[in-house]
Amino acid sequence: MLSHARIWAAIDELASRHDLTPSGLARRAGLDPTTFNRSKRVAADGRPRWPSTESIAKILQATGERLEEFLDLMKHRNERSTSGETLRHLPLLGFAQAGAGGFFDDGGFPAGQGWDQVAFPGPTGDAYALEVSGDSMLPLYRDGDIIIVSPTAACRKGDRIVLRTRDGEVMAKILERRTARSVEVRSLNPDHKNRTFPVGEIDWMARIVWASQ
């Protein structure tokens, strides 16, 4: 069955097959890098936006994949990567959406509706994926990059982490210091200040275990 979620998932999986982010796939196909961004998949009024047949044709040509293979990806079976590894599906959410309520439980695990999926060639456990938006995480993470986050992995000094405050602010930082009272984090982008948060202001914190770069 052709559905909005499945066709976008197939594009994500096609990108993963070729070690690309969705924005990287768009660039390879000669399209605008934001063509397949999460924000482009739903209109401002909430209506689903579908990729054009022209954009699909261009990514198939750019990757050398056949239409039949693309349609097979839409079936959501256990696909395999080009290296032979089984691709597992992780919950995927845009970074901007992560600040809204209803997407996480009290422990920072995915919950509720609105999550998409992305294929990942490796062990997943309780991990999930976030799609970077904007330039606040440069030079490490660019707009459209996918980061894999584990809420169960221990966070130690020097680790790259994602932190969500109780006010709904979500950020990727480097953990500098953690005490019983506060958490100090260093910004990835030198144009953004380092920050310190009282423990009571932090909703959850999770370690970044992988990134598409």
- As a dihedral over the C-alpha atoms of residue 61, residue 120, residue 165, residue 107, rounded to 10 degrees, the angle is 150
In this model, does residue 12 exceed pLDDT 50? yes
Per-residue confidence band for 211, with pLDDT thresholds at 50, 70 and 90? confident
In this model, does residue 89 exceed pLDDT 80? no
In this model, does residue 81 exceed pLDDT 50? no
Ranges of each domain in the chain: 1-77, 82-213
In this model, does residue 82 exceed pLDDT 50? no
Of 2.10.109.10, 3.40.250.10, 1.10.630.10, 2.160.10.10, which CATH number belongs to 82-213?
A: 2.10.109.10
Q: Please tell me the predicted confidence (pLDDT) of residue 22.
A: 86
Q: Please tell me the predicted confidence (pLDDT) of residue 44.
A: 66
How many percent of the chain have pLDDT more than 70?
88
Question: So what's the architecture of 1-77 in CATH?
Answer: Orthogonal Bundle (1.10)
Per-residue pLDDT, averaged over 15-26, amounts to: 87
More confident residue, 161 or 72: 161
Q: Which residues pair with residue 117 across a beta bridge?
A: 91
Predicted confidence (pLDDT) per residue in 51-69, tens digit: 999 999 999 999 999 888 8
Predicted confidence (pLDDT) per residue in 151-208, tens digit: 888 899 999 999 999 998 888 999 999 999 999 999 888 888 899 999 999 999 999 9
Q: Please tell me the predicted confidence (pLDDT) of residue 2.
A: 62
